[in-house]
Amino acid sequence: MPAVIDIRGVHRIYESAAGYTHALKGVTLRVERGEFLCVMGPSGSGKSTLMNTLGCLDTPTSGTYRLEGVDVSTLTDDELAELRATRLGFVFQSYNLLPRATVLRNVMLPLVYSDCPVSQREQLARKALASVSLPEQYFDHRSNELSGGQMQRVAIARALVNDPAVILADEPTGNLDTATGNMVLRTFRRLRDEGKTIVLITHDAEVADWADRTVHIRDGRLLTDEQERALQAAHPGTRSAT
Amino acid sequence: MRIRDLVWETGSALDANRGRSLLTVLGIVIGIAAVIAMTALIGGVKQSLVGELGLNQARMVDFFAWPEREVTLDDLKNLEERMPEYECLTATSYANGEVKSETKTFSGTIMGVLPNYERVMGVKMTQGSFIKDHDQDSVALVAVLDQGAVKQLYGSPDEQVVGRTISISNVSYSVVGVSESTSYMGNGGTVYLPFSTCASRLTGDWGIGSINGLAREDADMSTIAETTMQTLADYFQMSEDQAKEDVYAYTMQSVIDELETTMASFQLLMTAVASISLVVGGIGIMNMMLTNVTERIREIGLRKALGARSSDITKQFLLESVCLCLAGGFIGVVLGYLGSFALTGVAGSMMELGATSAPLRPMIDVKSVAMVTGICILIGVLFGYYPARRAARLDPVESLHYQ
């Protein structure tokens, strides 16, 4: 069985008014099924670009990306959209829920784009909400009536609802206090225990402790733990724990 | 994305901006209201005029010739044989005199008519019946009044007068029927007598004053006047010069054509006004949709991240603008019809169609509503396309981080 994520020698170069930005410099990474991986790095290190690349929102300038064995560079825009709808789940720092829609409606949103029959949607959404332990009494609330922790759990349920190959979480605890953040991270851990594959991006070392494995990204390059420790020893204080 | 989802998204998006949406569609509302009011008004005017002219009027030909001698009923019979393009011909004579009821007197037109005058002219009876064959044969002392005459003689055009007696030059006639007034005959009041009665009692003269013919349905109305005049000239053995002076034939077709031309230019003017308003309205829609797209950039980015294809986003925003236009169109239709009732009131009194003629009613038809629906969809697509494409082309990464 191929790895869920297999990227090799990926470069990403942006062209902007200020000139060229080399955001990823030959990144190679494998994520196995059922793994909870943390990508850690300070801001500007290229972790967001990596996240967008993994999420098929951005395409590499060079290198290959295989998602469950499929080379995504060969896919058309519509095929990429379908991939996002069915094989990828996103969790954002700022939740990105539709504020005026109900919790159920928010969780059902990806199903709208994956051609899921209308009759099955609510059932799938309830199941996803149950697995993030959101009490049923909130299901018909508008999402802007919830607390931050509740909103993030709704967002995780939304990422789960299509049973994706991988859940990509970009600073999911960034807007939450430590206790609530830990609750969200516990949810990710439990999902990992149920066999989900999770890639979490953070700059917070404490968050990274929840993961099975951590890779560091710095100036567009991935470092192993050993390389990172060596770097830390040479330049103490550069580790950007906040 | 299914149609049901699209409709749900559209409904919730429009619901979120109710006040702003309403203001935005105002241009469409005004344009559509103008279109509807005008078509209803024009339809009403047409119907009222056609109703007034009578159903047969388009096929009616008014003609006569003045040869050296008197034209008689025998000539009419001969002409009828020579003019196969007519279903029938009828003759009229005219007289003048004071017409008296029990209380009032008026001097109006007195016409001696044949019984088939009713059919040829499309006379509509409101009371009793028209002059019959036996009235003509027995030189009966009967009269048919039009509503104008009833008004003059009895005060109100709706007075029940069948069976009452009027007198003309000291001869009493019993009223057997009342016909609708037509502006063709004027509103001064007309009294119809049997042709024979008019000739023997009033004029003492059996000559015909004018002839009216009802053309066959398949007759060519554009050339019938020409052929009729030719036949008349031949029959009365008139020279070409004499015929030019003393023969005429006149069809209502030309009047109807003229009416249509007037209406068409009126319609063109209103279409121009409505089009300008609709274009301005459409630009308003485009403006609102562009604002909408900017406001919802993050939502668009999210939808794309969750798997929306560009076409899904295009469809969503297009449907939104089409629905906006349709909502505007619906309000416009309602306002337009309300407005057309007010307008017909004004137009009706301006045209002074007379107290006795049918009131002007706006004509409401399915065709114009269908047309409006089409126009609204067209405007929605036309002016919604650019904003929708702009939304669809947004880069998901940038839009997700848009502040």
Segment B92-110, tens digit of pLDDT:
998 888 888 888 888 888 9
Give the per-residue pLDDT at B357: 47
- B397 contact A CB<8A: yes
Q: What is the pLDDT of residues B136-164, one digit of tens each?
A: 999 999 999 988 888 888 888 788 889 89
Give the per-residue pLDDT at B354: 43
- Average pLDDT (B294-310) is 93
Q: What is the pLDDT of residues B213-259, one digit of tens each?
A: 888 877 777 788 888 888 888 888 888 888 888 888 888 776 777 77
Two tokens at A93?
């720092």
- B310 contact A CB<8A: yes
Closest CA to B72 of B192, B207, B175, B256: B207
Cβ distance A113 to B400 less than 8 Å, yes or no, reads no
Partner residue facing B306 (CB), from A52, A85, A101: A85
- B2 contact A CB<8A: yes
Q: What's the longest Cα–Cα distance across chain A?
A: 59
Query: What pTM did the predictor assign?
Result: 0.71
Q: Looking at beta carbons, which residues of chain B come within 8 Å of A84?
A: 304-307
Position B183 pLDDT exceeds 70: no
Give the per-residue pLDDT at B68: 81
In DSSP notation, B344-397 reads HHHHHHHHT--TTSPPP-----HHHHHHHHHHHHHHHHHHHHHHHHHHHHS-HH
Two tokens at B2?
């299914």
Q: How far is B291 from chain A (nearest CA, A)?
A: 18
Q: Looking at beta carbons, which residues of chain A come within 8 Å of B2?
A: 112, 115, 118
Q: Looking at beta carbons, which residues of chain B come within 8 Å of A92?
A: 400
Partner residue facing A110 (CB), from B16, B307, B311: B307
Give the per-residue pLDDT at B176: 93
d(CA B353, CA B340): 18
Q: Looking at beta carbons, which residues of chain A come within 8 Å of B396?
A: 57
What are the residue ranges spanned by the domains of chain B? Answer: 3-54+256-400, 68-237
Give the per-residue pLDDT at B351: 55
Cβ distance B306 to A98 less than 8 Å, yes or no, reads no
Q: What is the pLDDT of residues B27-38, one digit of tens each?
A: 899 889 988 888
Q: Looking at beta carbons, which residues of chain B come within 8 Å of A158?
A: 306
Q: What is the pLDDT of residues A101-154, one digit of tens each?
A: 999 999 999 999 988 898 899 999 999 999 888 999 999 999 889 999 899 999
The more confident residue out of B35 and B352 is B35
Q: Which domains does chain A have, with CATH numbers?
A: 5-234 (3.40.50.300)
Percent of chain B's residues with pLDDT above 70? 91
- Average pLDDT (B70-82) is 88
Residue in B6, B306, B393 to test binding to A, most A beta-carbons within 10 Å: B306
pLDDT tens across the length of chain A (242 residues): 788 999 999 999 988 888 898 999 999 999 999 999 999 998 888 888 999 999 999 989 999 999 999 999 999 999 999 999 999 999 999 899 998 899 999 999 999 998 889 889 999 999 999 988 899 999 999 988 999 989 999 999 999 999 999 999 999 998 889 999 999 999 999 999 988 999 999 988 889 889 999 999 999 999 876 677 777 777 765 544 43
Query: How many C-beta atoms surround the C-beta of residue A61 within 10 A?
Result: 14
Q: How confident is the model at residue B50 (pLDDT cuts 50, 70, 90)?
A: low
Q: How confident is the model at residue B52 (pLDDT cuts 50, 70, 90)?
A: low
Q: How far is B307 from chain A (nearest CA, A)?
A: 4
Q: What is the pLDDT of residues B356-380, one digit of tens each?
A: 345 567 777 788 889 889 999 999 9
Position B383 pLDDT exceeds 90: yes
CB burial of residue B68 (10 Å; 0-12, 13-18, 19+)? exposed
Is residue A223 within 8 A of residue A234, CB to CB? The reply is no
Cβ distance A100 to B16 less than 8 Å, yes or no, reads yes
Long-range contacts of B399-403 (CB under 8 A, 24+ apart): B399/B297, B399/B298, B399/B300, B399/B301, B399/B304, B400/A57, B400/A92, B400/A96, B400/B298, B400/B301, B400/B302, B400/B305, B401/B301, B402/B297, B402/B298, B402/B301
Q: From its phi and psi, is residue B200 left (phi > 0), alpha (psi between -120 and 50) or beta?
A: alpha
Cβ distance B303 to A109 less than 8 Å, yes or no, reads yes
